[in-house]
Amino acid sequence: MPETLQEAPPADDHPAGDRTSFRLAVFGAVLVVTLFAGYGVGRLNNDEPTAPAPPAATGMAGMPGMPVDESRPHTHNPDGTAVLGGLTTTGMGQAVGGLAVSSAGLTLVPGSTIFPEGRPRRLTFMIVGPGGAAVTTYAIVHDKPLHLIVIRRDLSGYQHLHPTMAPDGTWGIDLTLAAPGSYRAIADFTAVVGGQQIATTLGTDLTVAGRYAPVALPAPTQQVKTTNFTVSYEGTPRTGSIRPILVTVTGPDAKPAVLQPYLGAFGHLVMLRQGDLGYVHVHPEPRLVDGKVKLWLAAPSPGAYRMFFDFQVAGRVYTAAWSVTTG
């Protein structure tokens, strides 16, 4: 017992039973005080709960936090950090990019956005910072400083391009849009501003005047034919969880094709959502799995999508496309 309990009157002034009762009473009082003190602390913590510690930061290579594993699905927050593993705060699915012309303090400023039908015209644009100055320094991600996806609003006419940049920060490439309609140009890049790397995806609309004849989204399938090859995938994209997708490329002899690295990977998968063209870009694992390309994918939300898989064989790049509906 604490020393203070030893200060009771001498033993000859109190019978043994009284001394025992006294000690029990003191012990009970101390216990009650302790319990009420703990209860008070608990009430304080319950009335104003402490927020959980934020998760460790993630980012592209060279940014604060752990570098993003490019073989995992990721997009970019408005602050330029990368969303790795794909799930949004709602838990539904992976966040999408390419919906905004301005994000993370950067803005895509296009030149002419009107294009002729079926004839090349120079597409130009700049990425400008908060002060309006053009960004001229970019990190190399998958062998290129900037990846440009062009797609018509009905999810036809897909192109994966790599424009070049002039010293003043103007990006340019000759672009041919085959049919009338509204198109989306999506720029995926990591800008270097003030010594910081900002990974983001910006988009702008392009227009081809003329009689617009929309193309219906092809029916969902897991096997398609391209020039010289049959391309199929195993797995089912779902919202709320990241799932493996295995892509197989076979030649006319029904044997597996010998895939070559293209832009630093054995393939590139772009997923675009019907309706708003929400964009997801996924890279595969660095090694083939039994000759198959393995990717990890989380569907951003329930709905219809078009998936485009770029791959290279014998120095030539091919694209396979599938429709998929997720629940």
Beta-strand pair 146-152/121-128? unpaired
Residue 121 has pLDDT above 90, yes or no: yes
249 vs 241: CA distance, rounded Å: 26
Is the pTM above the cut of 0.85? no
Which of 238 and 78 is assigned the larger pLDDT? 238
**What number is the average pLDDT over the span 118-132?**
96
Residue 10 has pLDDT above 80, yes or no: no
Reported as a single tens digit per residue, the pLDDT across 54-93 is 223 233 333 333 334 444 444 444 344 444 433 333 344 5
Structure tokens at 215: 């193309």
The total of other beta-carbon atoms located within 10 Å of residue 289's CB is: 11
Q: Which position has the token pair 């510690």?
A: 53
In terms of Cα–Cα distance, which of 275, 277, 280 is closest to 188? 280
Three-class DSSP category at 140:
coil
**What number is the average pLDDT over the span 173-193?**
97
**What number is the average pLDDT over the span 109-133?**
96
57 residue type, one letter: A
In terms of Cα–Cα distance, which of 33, 35, 86 is closest to 58? 86
DSSP string, 173-240: EEE-B-SSEEEEEEEEEEEEETTEEEEEEEEEEEEE-S---PPPPPPP-SEEEETTEEEEEES---SS
Q: What is residue 269's predicted lDDT score, i.e. its pLDDT? A: 96
Contact 127, 137 (CB under 8 A): no
Q: What is residue 17's predicted lDDT score, i.e. its pLDDT? A: 44
